[in-house]
Structure 1
Amino acid sequence: MKDFRSVADAVAEEIASGRLGPGERLPPQREFARRHAIANSTAVRVYQELGRRGLTVGQVGRGTFVTAAPGASVPAPALSEPAVDRVDLELNHPVVPEQAGLLAAGLTRLVGSDNLESVLRPVGPAGTPTAREAAADLLVRGGERPGPERVLFAGNGRQAISAAVAALTRPGARLGVEEFTYPVLKAIAVRLGVTLVPLAMDEDGLIPEAVEEAHRADPLHAVYVQPVLHNPLTLTMPARRLDHLADVLLTSGIHAIEDAVWAFLRSDLPTLASRAPERTVLVDSVSKRLSPGLSLGFAVAPAALVGRVAAAVRSGAWTPMRFPLEAMVRWQEDGVVATLVRAKQREAGVRQEIVHRRLGDFRTRSDPSSYHLWWELPAPWRSDTFVAAAARHGIAVTPAAAFSVGRPRGPHAIRLGLASPTRDVLSRTLATLGGLARSAPDDFAGD
């Protein structure tokens, strides 16, 4: 049996000799295993070892790419600059300085309360009456407060989405999605056996006529949509588009799953659920508002679907823990949630100003309230070669293909998450990426 290290050494030698060049894609792990007559588990370890050595970088939805320059026995950074510590512009978790202190105060009171034993007990998707009231207050948007009786809870936002998809579809069903969508939804669809149907977008977001056309061609069971601060394109539907989409849902009888995870940054805007309440399941979470370490998701369902969504939460083992539920109640009642939301709204504006200073001369798309950015790369850069070159600088970015649905390859664009680094690190990192984009790729091949 071949040792994974010896196989990794052989691949490293190919990279060092130039037979595998920067930006070149390695085969899928199963195919690699067949070629080298090794077990799939061994191939997994080989790829992990290559990544550990800094010779490759893996991208969700795209594959594994070579990052070392020809002739180098160790990773060589693009543009001959020294390597830096890894900066993650893929994950996107807003943090503000006052966050830890505000959250700690509420937790101290919760842990020290006489009710700690009950706080540690299990809870179902309906939570508690107090939690439903607090969640309804937390989810107010555009002056609209959802009915507490329609609020359900899941372990996190992804599980809330999974439960909504499971409740509204079945294996083999067609789920309409924006042509660029949340990558995790693609994995959820695979797991649930659901077919994603890409729907056209324009500058105002999802095009309602595209929903109607797809539904006429072969009925859709539901539509998943991000009306506010769309991830990755940062688009927000204007009121007229929101009304039009609601009309399509009502006339066609299609249900919608409204992902509102980033919408807390634009709490002045109404929800699709307020326009078509009987056709829309709204999903949200507290992680972006409060802390990535707090896991709690919400699903606000039409009255007729509450039972079905709750059953999906239970059958998927997606029920929440009671502790974060009770913590959310205290933070909401104490005003901590509102304080942190305002702070994170201000911080988003600061980070967008940094983007403007560093990348203002490029074709980017964003929103002053957003924590992410869509960047159309200048020629001759391709998204895969740019991702690999950025990785050699210790910077992780996400290629367009990770978000694309129904295309063999995405456009030459990337998404940058702006939330996780400190302001200074973000500024330096964007300056590095800007310098990289102004330079010629190390390895460019035409389409």
Structure 2
Amino acid sequence: MSDTSWKPDLSARSGPKYLSLVRAVREGVRSGALPAGSRLPTVRDLAWRLSVTPGTVSRAYQIATQEGLLEAVVGRGTFVASRTQRFGPTEPLYSQPSSLYGEMPGVVDLRSPQLPDVGQTKALAHAMAEAAADLDAHYLEYPGLRRDYYCREAVLNWFPEACSLDGVITPEDIVLTHGGQNGINVVMQCCLRGDRPVVFVEELAYPGFRHAARLNRAEVVAVALDDQGMIPEALDAACRRHRGQIVCITPDAQNPTAVRMSTERREAIAEVARRHDLQIIEDDCYTAPVTGLPSLRAIAPERAWHVTSISKTISAGLRFGFVVAPEGMGEAGRLAAQHGFFGLSRPVTDIVTRLMNSGEAMRLRYSAQEEMGRRLQMTLQALGDQDLSWLPGLSFVWLKLPLGWRGSVFARMAEAEGVLVRSADEYVLHDGHAPNAVRIAMAGGVPEEQFNQAIQRLKRLLERQPTDLPV
């Protein structure tokens, strides 16, 4: 293929441009659009065609070369590597793009947690039948700012008695949303002001934070982490350099590093937020078991927005989440939601209300966490000699790779073995530094035997030295 004809379309891809370009290379190789031995455009030429910086293309080429997809020949350019160079003579080559992996037999997706069915389908069917039996003329009306009160009241059952939020919040503090990501977006719409506001995120963070920030025309600034999450001094320094308005934090189960903030750290973060008048988005969507630690909403009730959902424990398809707004800000949050989507649909609020009031929601939540705990134990038994970060009941682990491995290379080699994991590259900003690590999610939706086989494949891969792998 000529080096003047390849121009991938990155417009529909989310995330950093360099990762989008890496995915385009992968898909081009698999589909045959980039045949072995063909020369790719030069860095500057492709950067000009795609309207990106040369550094973006250079970084993408470097990752694809490390993965064995490309090879750089001094004085000649960058070429698509041969099949043997990429995988060796016995390695499988999947022809389908990554988006179709979920439909491919033998491939186990450990990129995002998949819910096990611990009774959700039966409980949802029962709640739907009850809601249908009570259907009335209210279904002909818009939800409205006040008509979802019954559901807001019901979701207070989501907080166990031991939770520090219990007894502190009221239905007036609740904003109902279409899942946690929508909740984050609603908070940003409610709080961000100006032409180019600034949002602070952890240097390794859930990508949805930066996606929501960019939708709201905000600049995203990364803040350093340690073994307890965001460092207060680093946040304070960032605030002095940038006039930020929101800081996004995951204190109970940091995604992706699986660390937890102490009470002292949470109080220090809240103090920095007060000093610089920051609003806090507290992400609690993974809903780890009750820790006994105070939430940021309890420590800073005047500025913390507690975002959670049922997507990780009951149903991702129902698209139901809610935000506990700061004191006195519930109405403002509901107004932002009303302007965005006119409130949640009546069938969804009816179904969720029945699950919450009957106690089924909490039963299903703990049953799902128990099942995920069994998958976690299987993972720890197989990979316990590795550098893992994990929390009881959490549905993912963070694997810091042995010396010599790169996150992107390990993810690529695991993919060749039929196991999909997330490289650290997916959690950093485009100009950030990705550690040599991957996130492994608990696949509750696949049989235990198949899940265990996938973990064993990762174990065998880790036992190989990176220098012994085909390049």
Taking structure 1 as reference, are residues 318 and 118 closer, same or farther at Cα in structure 2, changes over 3 Å only?
Answer: closer
Select between 235-244 and 113-122 the one with higher mean Cα deviation. 113-122
- Counterpart residue number, 1:178: 202
One-letter identity of the residue aligned with 1:334: S
SS of the aligned residue for 2:343 comes to coil
- Tell me the amino acid that sits aligned with residue 166 of structure 2: E
- Identify which of 76, 99, 104 aligns with 2:125: 104
Mapping of residues 275-424 of structure 1, within 5 Å: 275-317=299-341, 319-405=343-429, 407-420=431-444, 421-424=446-449
Residue among 164, 173, 177 paired with 1:154:
177
Tell me which residue corresponds to 1:54. none
Partner of 1:134: 154
| C-alpha spacing 1:27/1:290, structure 2 compared with 1 (3 Å) | farther
Deviation at 1:335, TM superposition (A): 0.9
Other structure's SS at 2:314 match: coil
Q: What is aligned with 2:230?
A: 206
Question: Which residue of the partner structure matches residue 51 of structure 1?
Answer: none
Deviation at 1:343, TM superposition (A): 0.8
SS in 1 for 2:403: coil
Cα distance between partner residues in 2 of 1:34 and 1:220:
34
Alignment of 1:58-77 (within 5 A): 70-72=81-83
**Given the two structures, how large is their TM-score scaled by the length of structure 1?**
0.81
Does residue 85 (structure 1) correspond to residue 96 (structure 2)? The answer is no
Query: What is the aligned-residue identity percentage?
Result: 24
Taking a change above 3 Å as real, the CA distance of residues 265 and 212 of structure 1, as seen in their structure-2 partners, is same
> CA separation of 1:422/1:123 partners in 2, compared to 1, >3 Å: closer, same or farther?
farther
Question: In the alignment, which residue of structure 1 is the partner of 2:464?
Answer: 439
With 393-402 and 247-256 compared, the bigger mean Cα shift is at 247-256
Asked whether the equivalents of residues 157 and 357 of structure 2 are also in contact (C-alpha less than 8 Å), the reply is: no
Letter of the structure 1 residue corresponding to residue 255 of structure 2: N
* Aligned residue number for residue 248 of structure 1: 272
Aligned mates of 2:402, 2:69 — CA distance in 1: 20
Q: Answer yes or no: is the 8 Å Cα contact 1:126–1:310 preserved in 2.
A: no
Report if the CA contact (8 A) 2:200-2:247 is conserved: yes
Deviation of 1:277 (Å): 0.5
1:224 shift after superposition: 0.7
SS of the residue 2:410 aligns to = helix
TM-superposition CA deviations, 1:422-447 (whole Å, max 9, x none): 32222111110111122244355xxx
Task: Choose which of 440, 451, 460 in structure 2 pairs with 1:426.
Answer: 451
Whole-angstrom CA distance in 1 between matches of 2:114 and 2:147: 26
Structure 1 CA distance for aligned equivalents of residues 358 and 158 of structure 2: 12
Residue 144 (structure 1) aligned with residue 166 (structure 2): yes
Residue 41 (structure 1) aligns with: none
Normalising by structure 2, we get a TM-score of 0.77
Aligned counterparts of 1:108 and 1:132: Cα–Cα separation in 2: 21
Partner of 1:270: 294
The verdict on how the C-alpha distance between 1:184 and 1:125 changes in structure 2, with shifts beyond 3 A counting, is farther
190-199 or 73-82, which deviates more: 73-82
- C-alpha separation in 2, matches of 1:26 and 1:264: 47
Structure 1, unpaired ranges of 5+: 36-58
The offset of 1:261, in angstroms, is 0.6
For the 8 Å contact 1:127–1:152, the answer to whether it is kept is: no
After superposition, what is the alpha-carbon deviation per residue over 1:1-22, rounded to whole angstroms, capped at 9, x for unaligned?
x9999x96998385434878xx
**Aligned residue for 1:39?**
none
Give the structure 1 partner of residue 11 of structure 2: none
- Quick one: distance in 2 between partners of 1:403 and 1:286? 23
Root mean square deviation of aligned Cα:
3.6
Bigger mean CA offset, 426-435 vs 260-269: 260-269
Q: Which moved more, 1:359-368 or 1:121-130?
A: 121-130
